[in-house]
Amino acid sequence: MPEFVTLETSDEFPGVGTILLNRPPMNALNRQVQTELAEAALAATEDDSIKAVVVYGGPKVLAAGADIKEMNDMTFAEMSKVAGRLQSGLGAIAAIPKPTVAAITGYALGGGLEVALGADRRIAGDNAKLGVPEILLGVIPGGGGTQRLARLIGPSRAKDMVFTGRFVGAAEALQIGLVDEVVAPDEVYNAAMTWASQFAKGASVALAAAKAAIDEGLDTDLDTGLKIEAHVFASLFATDDRAIGMRSFVENGPGKAEFTGK
């Protein structure tokens, strides 16, 4: 059984899975947490009853970064062997082919922010503090932060955050696009679950296709991105949901289809 990261579901929000980080006091992301996070993300991917995923660290903190004590005595040779695993663990949320949202309360720093960057949406409490302060340790973000942050908020703003290591408050994070919604701290989890629950009865194959087209298209040029879009668009005509959705539209109008996820 996992010790620090669990995948949970509830009757209140059917179809939504919560990946819960629970390593008090600050959810430091040591190697065990990284492994368990990757395992939880894979379980959420493979569970067909889960249609969307929330990643949450509890009411006080998402995660305040990697476990520096664990890294303190590592050599270049040792880190070279595990750096890829670090990226995979902290970036595991990005690999889930379903809508994902990070519910950010308190601090999301270093690896904690990198976990949140892997989500499709970020909802933060108005007391949240976000940042990539690795430069203050003499290193840089190594869990995907330099790449996902720059793609999300642009290279100039990403460089400002990475170069200075400063913390960004919720209001500024919303302004620069680092988070998508700011609510009261005690409303963060509920807001994330509410957003995710709208996909519980959605066309899950089409949602996965949309996510793949956007994510893969952003990693290439426009012409190639358009080819990716054309391919995944055409592939949906082999699904039951496409037939159900179009037939329902013709017979009953928009928004009334009951999809099967196949």
Break the chain into its structural domains and give their ranges.
5-197, 204-252
Are 87 and 95 in contact, with CB atoms under 8 Å apart? no
Question: Which sequence positions are flagged as catalytic?
Answer: 66, 111, 114, 134
Residues 6+ apart with CB under 8 A from 253: none
Give the mean pLDDT of the chain.
Answer: 96
Q: Report the candidate in 65, 66, 40 with the shortest Cα–Cα distance to residue 54.
A: 40
Cα 111 to Cα 131: distance, rounded to the nearest angstrom:
9
Q: Whose structure tokens read 């668009």?
A: 233
**For residue 25, cis peptide bond before it (omega within 30 degrees of 0):** yes
Query: Is the pLDDT score of 30 beyond 90?
Result: yes
| First vs last C-alpha separation in the chain | 31
pLDDT at 133: 97
Identical fold between 5-197 and 204-252: no
Query: Is the pLDDT score of 122 beyond 90?
Result: yes
Cα 137 to Cα 67: distance, rounded to the nearest angstrom:
12
What's the pTM? 0.94
Cα 28 to Cα 24: distance, rounded to the nearest angstrom:
8
- Tens digit of each residue's pLDDT (9 = 90 or more) over 175-226: 999 999 999 999 999 999 999 999 999 999 999 999 999 999 999 999 999 9
Beta bridge partners of 18: 8, 54
> What's the chain's Rg over C-alpha atoms?
19
Cα 118 to Cα 91: distance, rounded to the nearest angstrom:
6
Which DSSP string corresponds to 116-170? HHTSSEEEEETT-EEE-GGGGGTS---SSHHHHHHHHH-HHHHHHHHHH---EEH
Q: Provide the CATH number for the domain formed by 5-197 in this structure.
A: 3.90.226.10
Could you say which architecture CATH assigns to the domain 204-252? Orthogonal Bundle (1.10)
Mean pLDDT of 113-142: 97
- Tens digit of each residue's pLDDT (9 = 90 or more) over 60-104: 999 998 888 888 989 999 999 989 999 999 999 999 999 999 999
Distances in whole angstroms, Cα of residue 158 to Cα of each of 14, 135, 143: 36, 13, 15
Q: Report the candidate in 167, 166, 180 with the shortest Cα–Cα distance to residue 124.
A: 180
pLDDT at 65: 87
